[in-house]
Chain A
Amino acid sequence: MDDALLVVLLLADATVRVATPLVLAAFAALYSERAGVVDIGLEGKMLAGAFFAAAVASSTGSPWLGLGAAVAASVALALVHGFACIIHKGNQVVSGMAINILVAGLAPTLAYAWFRQGGQTPLLPGEARLPQVHLPGVEALSGIPVLGPVYRELIDDANVLIWLTVLLVVATHWVFTRSRFGLRLRAVGENPSAVDTAGLSVTRLRYQAVVITGVLTGIAGAYLSTAHGAGFVRDMTAGKGYLALAALIFGKWRPWPTLFACLLFAFTDAVQVRLQGVPLPVVGVIPVQFIQMLPYVLTVLLLAGFVGRAVAPRASGVPYVKER
């Protein structure tokens, strides 16, 4: 009984840890895409964040400076994206792709020049990594069945960025349903000319959205290299940016369903690690690769309308031109 509970808790814990960067990146894209700017450059911005977080944390010993550097680098890339898509009405998909490829080359190049360790940063010591939040009362509660283990395994000693992500989810819900800024962002993604007519600057709103995207992807990258991992390694995002995008689509561009999709994807990943080589009833051993491709297949099916319908913000991907 207790063993089963422990397995469930360990799975849940792994799910939360894998889901955190996905949630951060997917919510980052939520801001951008609800404002009408398509962002497939999440991968690149996360990778830049991961590199600068680890590089600065390694050089200065402070994970907080690393976090700051990650956010700065990621926002800089977001501004490039904004410059191309908002000011110059460039193709948003091409711009996102360019940023992904650029950073995939730039991060190891800089890492090599900086640390001379084959395109990665040195292993970070404990104090250069973002800390976990130790909660009081673990011993006191550990005697209580169910609640004790849940508190000990799942809630205590979670990374500070996991808590930040929880806050972000709640705040995002509030922003998009209650705040004036959020409602305007949504409007600018659906009908920019109406927003323009109302006397608000489409350019300004979209820039604000893109900068928020940069901040959040930077944090997501920092989580990968200085909280979850202990240093930057080449291609450490490994498609998480695209997976986050898939989660956003799966969540139909809404906060709570997007969170759910991230947790689902992360859960398949956690299960996949546990299921390797374990025969299941009826189907036998499922090859890992099939579980890994599940999120992508689900997204394709969803987009094809076989599992509900995902409707993107109407103006997403379309540069706004006054007086069209």
Chain B
Amino acid sequence: MAQDAAQGMTGRGFGRPGDVPGWVGYALLPLLNLLAALVLSGLVILVIGEKPLDVLALLVTEAVGYPEAIGYTLYYTTSYIFTGLAVAIAFHCGLFNIGGEGQAYLGGLGAGLVGLALTGWPWPVAALGAVAVSALFGAVWAAVPGWLQAKRGSHIVITTIMFNFIAAAIMTYLLVDVLIRPGSQSPETREFDPGVWLPAMDRALGWIGVAIPASPLNLSFLWALACCALFYLFLWRTRWGYEIRTVGRNERAAVYAGISPARNIILAMAISGALAGFVGVNEIMGVQHRILLNFTGGVGFVGIAVALMGRNHPVGIILAALLFGVLAQGGGQVSFEYPTVNRELVMVIQGLVILFAGALENLFKPRVEALFRRRDGRTAHG
């Protein structure tokens, strides 16, 4: 069932008269779906008694209007790129990974343990360690549901949901009973040694003489972009990537071609979990500098929207993550300015985008495609 979503770029099947141009599938339809979601969000804003266009204008200004805001927006974007890629690689293998939240949470645990352990080490070592260990923790947390799906036939959607809850319980236990800073009341660890913090972008750019205002944006943004490139190379330029996509398209055909679905399902889930785990690098090593409760705050779920909007392609995912970064930052600021608007408005928009871009992706498709086919047909017949 996830295959339908995974094959978002259809539009040119065999035996269909009159090809529909590719950009209809990956640009026009997503934009139409986004527009529909925004119109409905506007209605919600109307209902609660504000002017939608004013709110939108403020939202955009507060998200990209000045350098500091852009820093915040890109910081949110970083996490969304990681979870978007995570959901997307699972989609390419025909799997629906709802467990990004739990995987990101455990990734944060991994990154945090490195931060706690490497006091006194230079930050590049800590950064590499955090990347490796957060990937490992996230990968394990996703590979288990993957293994259960591949070998035991349990449904990945359900197991990843359950793993989210189990992860939350484990983290609460660890933070309340084990890792808590001695003598502290709030469930969080001690702050890491400043020497191992992942440098913020303003500091990093300061080294090469570029001055930007301070914001939570940190070096993991560059790692997110690198992951996008690696994601593309892996999925479309390596044999392993090809195998994963084959399993996602048609499991039976993959078996006939000598490709093991089980192996690829586990591999795809492990990579998916590793990518989600990198949220921990951005949040824990880059911004919070301690492990704390609920630092993920729904990024795993936003990843679903990002992957659906971005058509499971890294370029699309960067653009979609940027969009959701703008929503997160701008939406948060709007709630300060408008007394009737609160942060949750962003979730309304996210939900509507998932609804229209994912579940209702066929709403406009037949009509729009028919429009293009008819035009093609007319020109062909002269």
Residues of A within 8 A of B (CB): 40, 80, 83-85, 88-95, 97-110, 112-113, 119, 239, 242, 245-246, 249, 287, 289-290, 292-293, 296-297, 299-300, 303-305, 312, 317-318
Question: Chain B: interface secondary structure?
Answer: helix
4 A-B pairs with least C-beta separation: A105-B347, A102-B351, A303-B154, A95-B359
- B351's partner among A88, A89, A101 (CB-CB below 8 A) is A101
- B148's partner among A40, A119, A292, A300 (CB-CB below 8 A) is A300
Residues of B within 8 A of A (CB): 1-2, 4-5, 44, 47-49, 96, 98, 148, 152-155, 157-159, 161-163, 165-166, 169-170, 172-173, 176-177, 298, 301, 304, 308, 340-342, 344-352, 354-355, 358-363
Interchain nearest-CB distance for B201 vs A (Å): 29
Q: A303-B154, A305-B152 are in contact. Are A113 and B340 (CB under 8 A)?
A: yes
Q: Which residues of A contact B157 (CB under 8 A)?
A: 40, 93
Complex: A316 Cα to B12 Cα, angstroms? 28
8 additional contacts, CB 8 Å, given A88-B363, A94-B5, A113-B340?
Answer: A94-B304, A101-B347, A103-B351, A106-B44, A108-B344, A110-B47, A110-B48, A300-B162
Check A104–B4 contact: CB distance below 8 A: no
Check A90–B161 contact: CB distance below 8 A: no
Q: A88-B363, A106-B348, A119-B342 are in contact. Are A289 and B355 (CB under 8 A)?
A: no
Complex: A300 Cα to B159 Cα, angstroms? 6
Interface centre among A83, A102, A107 (most CB of B within 10 A): A102
Check B158–A92 contact: CB distance below 8 A: no
Check A98–B352 contact: CB distance below 8 A: yes
Complex: A94 Cα to B291 Cα, angstroms? 31
Q: A101-B354, A102-B348, A287-B173 are in contact. Are A246 and B154 (CB under 8 A)?
A: no
Check B173–A289 contact: CB distance below 8 A: yes
- A309 nearest CB neighbor, chain B only: B153
- A88's partner among B153, B162, B362 (CB-CB below 8 A) is B362
Complex: A112 Cα to B345 Cα, angstroms? 11
Check A246–B1 contact: CB distance below 8 A: no
Some 19 contacts from A to B, beta carbons below 8 A apart, are A84-B355, A84-B359, A88-B362, A93-B157, A95-B359, A99-B351, A99-B355, A101-B350, A105-B344, A105-B351, A107-B344, A108-B344, A109-B345, A110-B47, A113-B49, A289-B170, A290-B173, A296-B163, A296-B165
Complex: A85 Cα to B363 Cα, angstroms? 11
Question: Chain A: interface secondary structure?
Answer: helix
Q: Which residues of B contact A92 (CB under 8 A)?
A: 1, 359
Interchain nearest-CB distance for A133 vs B (Å): 34
- B172 nearest CB neighbor, chain A only: A289
Q: Which residues of A contact B304 (CB under 8 A)?
A: 94, 97
Q: Which residues of A contact B345 (CB under 8 A)?
A: 105, 109
Complex: A59 Cα to B355 Cα, angstroms? 31
Check A300–B154 contact: CB distance below 8 A: yes
Q: Which residues of B contact A289 (CB under 8 A)?
A: 169-170, 172-173, 176
Check B159–A97 contact: CB distance below 8 A: no
Q: Which residues of B contact A109 (CB under 8 A)?
A: 44, 48, 341-342, 344-345, 348
- A83 nearest CB neighbor, chain B only: B360
Check B359–A303 contact: CB distance below 8 A: no
Interface centre among B2, B47, B350, B351 (most CB of A within 10 A): B351
Complex: A132 Cα to B177 Cα, angstroms? 40
- A100 nearest CB neighbor, chain B only: B351
Check B360–A292 contact: CB distance below 8 A: no
Q: Which residues of A contact B172 (CB under 8 A)?
A: 289
Interface centre among A105, A239, A292 (most CB of B within 10 A): A105
Check B340–A112 contact: CB distance below 8 A: yes
Q: A109-B48, A293-B166, A300-B154 are in contact. Are A94 and B358 (CB under 8 A)?
A: yes
Q: Which residues of A contact B177 (CB under 8 A)?
A: 287
Interchain nearest-CB distance for B207 vs A (Å): 40
Interchain nearest-CB distance for A246 vs B (Å): 7
- A305's partner among B1, B153, B166, B355 (CB-CB below 8 A) is B153
Interchain nearest-CB distance for B84 vs A (Å): 14
- B48 nearest CB neighbor, chain A only: A113
Q: Which residues of A contact B340 (CB under 8 A)?
A: 112-113
Complex: A312 Cα to B166 Cα, angstroms? 23
Interchain nearest-CB distance for B98 vs A (Å): 7
Complex: A246 Cα to B176 Cα, angstroms? 26
- A304 nearest CB neighbor, chain B only: B152
Q: A113-B48, A292-B169 are in contact. Are A91 and B1 (CB under 8 A)?
A: yes
Q: Which residues of A contact B173 (CB under 8 A)?
A: 287, 289-290
- A310 nearest CB neighbor, chain B only: B154
Interchain nearest-CB distance for B134 vs A (Å): 22
Interchain nearest-CB distance for A96 vs B (Å): 8
Complex: A97 Cα to B303 Cα, angstroms? 12
Check B165–A293 contact: CB distance below 8 A: yes
Interchain nearest-CB distance for B249 vs A (Å): 16
Check A93–B96 contact: CB distance below 8 A: yes
Q: Which residues of B contact A105 (CB under 8 A)?
A: 344-351
Complex: A127 Cα to B147 Cα, angstroms? 53
Q: Which residues of B contact A119 (CB under 8 A)?
A: 342, 344
Q: Which residues of B contact A110 (CB under 8 A)?
A: 47-48
Interface centre among A109, A110, A299 (most CB of B within 10 A): A109
- A94 nearest CB neighbor, chain B only: B358
Check A80–B355 contact: CB distance below 8 A: yes
Q: A40-B157, A84-B355 are in contact. Are A101 and B301 (CB under 8 A)?
A: yes
Q: Which residues of B contact A102 (CB under 8 A)?
A: 347-348, 350-352, 354-355
- B157 nearest CB neighbor, chain A only: A93
Interchain nearest-CB distance for B157 vs A (Å): 5
Check B360–A88 contact: CB distance below 8 A: yes
